[in-house]
Amino acid sequence: MEELKVLPLWFWIVLIPILIAQSTWLFIDARKRDSMPWLWGLWGLIQTPMPLLFYFIFVRSGWFSRSPSKKKRE
């Protein structure tokens, strides 16, 4: 808990909008792609930047697909 007391107020003021924006974008984009939007949205709300990195690796790149037939059509 001592580490949290050391962080300045401006850090928290900047961090909160970043987390909300990241979470919102992840949720909306995952919903468009039918890729577990609640998981990505909640994970994006609690930490940064790992959810974005994993989202781009697994969902946007095509490694994760809920239906294998979509990959065959491309």
- pLDDT tens per residue, range 35-73: 899 999 999 999 999 999 999 998 888 776 655 555 444
Domain-embedded: residue 73:
no
Predicted pLDDT of residue 38: 95
Euclidean distance between CA atoms 65 and 74, whole angstroms: 13
CB 45 within 8 A of CB 23: yes
pLDDT band at 22 (very low <50, low <70, confident <90, very high): very high
Domain-embedded: residue 3:
no
Q: What's at 63, amino acid-wise? A: W
Predicted pLDDT of residue 60: 86
**Structural domain span for residue 20:** 11-63
Domain-embedded: residue 44:
yes
Domain-embedded: residue 5:
no
Q: How many domains does the chain have?
A: 1
Predicted pLDDT of residue 44: 94
Domain-embedded: residue 42:
yes
Q: What is the pTM of this model?
A: 0.75
